[in-house]
A and B are shown apart, each in its own frame.
Chain A
Amino acid sequence: MPSRNNAPDARNNAPDAPNAADEVTAPDPASSPDARSTPAAASSPDALNTPAAASSPDAPSTPAAPTLPAAITLTQALARRWPPRLGGSLQLRVVAITFLLSVIAMMLVGGYLSSAVRDGLFSDRRDQILEETARGFESMQTSLDSATATTAAETQQLVWDLMRGLRISGGADRDVMLLRNPKATAGVPIIDYTSRPGRTDLITDELREDVSTESGQFWQSIQVPPRNGASGDPVPGMIVGSQLNIPIAGAYELYIVESLENEQNTLDLVQRVLLAGGVVLIGALMIIAWFSARQVVRPVQNASAIAARLAAGQLTERMTEKGAHELTQLARSFNEMAMSLQEQITQLEELSRLQRRFVSDVSHELRTPLTTIRMAAEVMYASRDSFPPALARSAELLSTQLDRFEALLADLLEISRFDAGAAELDAENADVTVLLQRVTDLMEPLAESKGTHLRIDKPQEPIRADIDVRRVERILRNLISNAIEHAEDQPIDVFLAADENAVAVVVQDHGVGMTAEEAAHVFDRFWRADPARARTTGGTGLGLSISSEDANLHGGWLHAWGRVGEGSSFRLTLPRRAGRSFEVSPLPLTPEIEKEDDGVPEITDPAAVPRLAEGWLEVGDDE
C-alpha cells in the first residue's frame, strides 16, 4: 500500500507542473535544469491544493511573458513612426492600428488558449501515468512479496521477468529501470535492469535522493530522446520512481519513463490551428477595418472633393444629406456653409455687376454731353479765324482742354474697369517688333519736339507673342512718352529682346532720374515725382498705373528703376504664350548703366532684384 499512500506525495510535486508544462511548450534547454531541480524542494504536505491553483495563474503568464513586452515595444516603435508615414491616408492608418491591436489581442488569447490546452493535456496524462505506475509498482511489489525464489540467481531471473512484463504492459514508449538503492546495505545485490541502454542518465540526483530516502511515488518532468533513436529533438516525458523491496536482494529503486510525445503532437496541432485561425482572423479584421474606415473616410473624401470644387468656383456643389448619422450632420453643416458662401459671393458679384453697370452708365451719361460740347467746340474752332482774338484763343483753349478732359475720362474709365475686374485680355499672336516699330514711329515726332530722340535696339527677326495688341501698344506709348518727358535732352534707349518664354522691352532715359522711394511710387495713381514740376506732355497721371494693370493682366511684369542724375528705366516683361509663366526676364533692367557702372552687379534674375542696392523696385504681383 505504500504507493497508494504516496499518491498525495506524488501530487506534491505538482508545483513544478508549470515548469514541466513550460518544457512541453518550448523545449528550452535553459529551463530544463530548473525543471529538474525543483521537485526535490516540493514536498510540503499542505501543497495538496496548490497544483490547480498554482498552475492556472502562472501558466498563462509564463509563456506569454517573453512575447508580450516585445509586442508592446513594437507597437510603440510603430506608433512613433507611423503617423508621418501613413499620415496621408486615414483609412490605411485605421487598418494598420487594427492590425497591431488585433495581433496583440491574438497573442494574448492564443497564449492563454494554448497554455490552458497544454496544462489540461499535461495534467490528464500525468494523472494517468501516475495511476498506471502506481498500479505497476504495486503489482510488482506484490509479485515479489509472494515469490518463492530462494537464491539470488532465482531472484534475479524473477525480477528481470517482472521488469520485462512491466515494460511491455506500458506500451512501446515505456522504459523501466531497476537500480539498487545506494543506501541499501542488506541483501545480496542483483544486477540492475535497464530496458534500454543509457536511460539511467535520465534519473536526476534529486529524484534518486527522494526515492532512495522516502517511500512512495516521485515523479519529474524530463526530456527523453525521441523514439527513433538519437536523431531528432528530445520530446517531453515523465519519469516516476519508487522504492522496491526485493526479497533476498534488498532495497531497490524502480523507475518508469513515459513519453509525452503524443500529447506534444496534439498540442502542436492545436497551436498550429490556433495560429492559422489567428492569422485568418487578423486578415478578416483588417478587411473589416478597411471597409468600416471607408464608410467614414469616403464621405470625408467626398466632402473634401466638393469643398475643392466649391473653392474652384462651382458654387452650386452640395453634399448629399442622407441617413441620420454624424456624417449627415457634416453634410448638412457643409451645405449650410456652401449656401452662405454662395449667397455672399452672389451678393458680391451683384455688387460688382452694379458697379460695372454704374461705370458704364456714368460713361454714357458723361459722354453724351461731352460729345455735344466737343462738337460745338470743334465747330467754333474750325471758324476761329473769323473771331476776334480773345474769342479765337478761347475756342483754342476749349478745344485742347477738351482733349485733355477726354483723355482723363478715358483713363478713369479704364482704371475703374480694372477695379471692377471687368478688364479682359484680348490676346492674339502678334509680332512685337512690328508693334514696337509702330509705336516708336508714332512717338518719334514728339521726341524730336522735346529735343531728344529714340535709340532702338531690337532684333531683325520677328518676335511673336500672345499679347493684347491694344494694351501692349498703350503700355509702350506710356513708357516712351514718360521717358520723353524726363529725358532732359538725352537720347532715350529702347531695347527689345526675347527668350523662349518671355519677351521684354526696356525703355531707359538718361535724364534726372529718380530715387528708390520715387521709383516705389511711380505706378501710383496721379503720382508725380515733383509736384511743383509742370506736366508738359499733358499726361493724365494714370498712364503708368494703367500700364502696370495691363502688364498684370497679361501675367507679366512692369519694373521701374531709377537713380538720381543717372536716369530711370522701365522694363516690361510679358509671357510669350498666354497663361504660361516665366522665371527670368530676357533683359536686365539697366543694360546701359550696367556696362558703364561698376557699382551695379549684372542683373539677369529678377528674383534677385529686391535684394540689390537702393533704387531697385519691382512692380507686378506675379513674382
Chain B
Amino acid sequence: MKGRVLVIDDDTALAEMIGIVLRAEGLEPVFCERGDRALAAFRESSPDLVLLDLMLPGKDGIEVCREIRAESGVPIVMLTAKSDTVDVVQGLESGADDYVPKPFKPKELVARVRARLRSRAEPEPERLEIGDLSIDVAGHSVVRNGEQISLTPLEFDLLVALARKPWQVFSRELLLANVWGYRHSADTRLVNVHVQRLRAKIERDPENPEIILTVRGVGYRAGSGAQ
C-alpha cells in the first residue's frame, strides 16, 4: 500500500529524519514547515495521513488540526513534546486521532502511522442499528432520521466497534486494541477524548448520553437504544 503522509513540522532536521524513516517503510512523505501554509499543502497533496507538530510558526498546530478536520476525515497523528494531560487532551479534542509523544523511536512512529492507515482497509458490507442511528459500515455513513451525521474514520470505527456488540462492555484497553490497533497499553485518554467527541456528534444530549454509556470503573458500552 502506497500511503502519502503530510509531515507538518517546522524542525527541518526532524522532518527530514521522519522522511527517511517513512520512505524506508515504503510511504511517501510530503513536507510543510509553516502552520499558515498547512491547509494549502493539505489540499494540494491530499494525503492519506497527516503527521502534525503542535508547535508551529505562523499558526498553532491545534488550529491547523481543527481546519483540516473541518474539511476532511483524514487521520491526523500529532507529534507532541508535551505529554501533559491538558495539551494532549486539547489536541485530541481539536480533532486529532492519535498522538506520538517525543522523543519517539522510529518503530513507534511507523506503528502508529500503519495503525491509522490500516483502519482504512475495505470493510464488509454490513448494516447496524444502535439507538435511533443506522450505520452503513461499508458506505461509511451514519444516519439519524434520514439525516447524515459526519464522523471521522476513527470515530466511525469506535461507533461500529461498540455497535457490533451492544451486549459487551468494552474496557478502554480493549477499545485501544480494537479501534486503534495497539496491542500494548497506550494512553487511555485517547479513548476518553474520542468518546466525548463522538457523543458530541451523535447524542441528542451529550451530557446525558443514550447511545454510548459509561460503565463506571470498567469502560463503555452501546446503549440499549432506550429513548
Contacts and interface: CB of A to CB of B under 8 A. Distances in A.
A605 B64 CA distance: 57
A368 B14 contact: yes
A313 to B, nearest CB: 21
B104 A371 contact: yes
Counting chain A CB atoms within 10 Å of each CB, which of B18, B55, B84 scores highest? Answer: B84
A31 B87 CA distance: 98
Interface stretch (A54-62, A304-312, A375-383): A375-383
B44 to A, nearest CB: 25
A428 B103 contact: no
A379 B81 contact: no
Interface in B1-50: 11, 13-14, 17-18, 20-21, 24
A338 B54 CA distance: 40
Interface string A412-427: 0000010000101010
Contact of B13 (A369, A378, A424, A426): A369
Interface in A459-479: 464
A169 interface: no
Given A364-B55, A368-B102, A406-B103, A375 B18 contact: yes
Contacts of A365: 81
Contacts of A164: none
A430 B24 CA distance: 42
B183 interface: no
A358 to B, nearest CB: 13
Given A363-B82, A372-B13, A428-B217, A378 B106 contact: yes
Given A364-B82, A368-B14, A426-B85, A379 B217 contact: no
A375 B81 contact: no
A378 B104 CA distance: 10
Nearest to A359: B84
Interface string A345-387: 0000000000000001001110111111011101100100000
Contact of B20 (A368, A379, A424): A379
B82 A360 contact: yes
Interface residues of B, number: 23
Contacts of A360: 82, 84, 87
Contacts of B20: 375, 379
A382 to B, nearest CB: 8
A401 interface: no
Contacts of B14: 368-369, 371-372, 375
Contact of A375 (B82, B87, B105): B105
A87 B21 CA distance: 78
Contacts of A464: 217
Contact of B81 (A363, A376, A428): A363
Contacts of B106: 375, 378-379, 382
Contacts of B102: 364, 367-368, 370-371
B85 A424 contact: yes
B206 to A, nearest CB: 21
B103 A367 contact: yes
Q: Is the interface of A mostly helix, strand, loop or mixed?
A: helix
Contacts of B18: 375
A157 interface: no
Contact of A372 (B17, B85, B105): B17
Contacts of A375: 14, 17-18, 20-21, 104-106, 109
Nearest to A376: B17
Contacts of B87: 360
A458 B216 CA distance: 25
B60 to A, nearest CB: 13
Interface in A4-41: none
Given A372-B11, A375-B21, A379-B20, A422 B84 contact: yes
A320 interface: no
Interface in B122-148: none
Contacts, number: 63
A325 to B, nearest CB: 49
A368 B11 contact: yes
Interface string A164-207: 00000000000000000000000000000000000000000000
B137 to A, nearest CB: 32
Interface string B64-98: 00000000000000000110110100000000000
Contacts of A142: none
A371 to B, nearest CB: 4
B85 to A, nearest CB: 7
Contacts of A422: 84
Nearest to B18: A375
B105 A378 contact: yes
Nearest to A428: B217
Contacts of A430: 217
A295 interface: no
A429 B219 CA distance: 12
Contacts of A379: 17, 20-21, 24, 106
A364 to B, nearest CB: 4
Contacts of B104: 371, 374-375
Interface in A422-456: 422, 424, 426, 428-430
A126 B151 CA distance: 116
Contacts of A374: 103-105
A374 B81 CA distance: 14
A94 B81 CA distance: 66
Nearest to A402: B103
A376 B216 CA distance: 44
Nearest to A365: B81
Given A367-B102, A368-B11, A369-B13, A378 B107 contact: yes
A430 B82 CA distance: 26
B40 to A, nearest CB: 24
Contacts of B105: 374-375, 378
B103 to A, nearest CB: 4
Given A363-B81, A374-B105, A379-B20, A429 B11 contact: no
B35 to A, nearest CB: 15
Contacts of A369: 11, 13-14
B82, B103, B106: most-surrounded residue (chain A CB, <10 A): B103
Interface of B: 11, 13-14, 17-18, 20-21, 24, 55, 81-82, 84-85, 87, 102-107, 109, 216-217
5 contacts: A360-B84, A375-B104, A379-B17, A424-B85, A426-B85
Given A367-B102, A372-B17, 14 more contacts: A365-B81, A368-B81, A368-B102, A369-B13, A369-B14, A370-B102, A371-B17, A372-B11, A374-B104, A375-B18, A375-B104, A382-B106, A422-B84, A424-B85
Q: Which 3 A-B pairs have the closest CB atoms?
A: A364-B81, A367-B102, A367-B81
